A = this chain, B = another copy of it.
Amino acid sequence: MSTKDGPPFVAINFIECNQEYVERFEMLFSSRAHAIDRMPGFLGMEVLKCTERDKPYLVVSRWKDEESFQAWVGSPEFHEGHKRAFEDLRAAKARGEETPMKSDFRTYTVLTD
């Protein structure tokens, strides 16, 4: 799974989703904006759903290198891609509700394949 440019840089967002938000969460991804796809150095992404209930989803994106990934974070495409999710989080907060999802973000290098 490496490219001729060397092993990719991998970013994973571990997202814990409230049960009542799961359907919307999955819909947001299945109709995603594809804004990230326009970023230079973007190699692909996948959303992994655990076969056990109530375990975090893994949103995995692959990049040519760390610089490509860093250029995405904070870019207009990043905000475009997260627009609906960010609105959901803001709306929940405005209603004084618990946040519908929590995320834990980590980045990785490929040690070996």
Residues of A within 8 A of B (CB): 1, 10, 12, 26, 29-30, 32, 44-52, 55, 57-58, 106-113
Contact B112 A58 (CB under 8 A): no
Known: A29-B112, A50-B108, A55-B106. 5 other contacts (CB 8 A): A29-B111, A30-B112, A32-B112, A48-B108, A49-B111
**Contacts A55-B106, A108-B58 hold; do A113 and B49 have CB atoms under 8 A apart?**
no
Q: CB within 8 A of A111: which of B48, B52, B55, B110?
A: B48
CA–CA, A10 and B1, complex, Å: 14
Q: CB within 8 A of A107: which of B29, B46, B51, B113?
A: B51
CA–CA, A80 and B47, complex, Å: 31
Contact A50 B110 (CB under 8 A): no
CA–CA, A61 and B58, complex, Å: 14
Most buried by B among A26, A57, A58, A112: A112
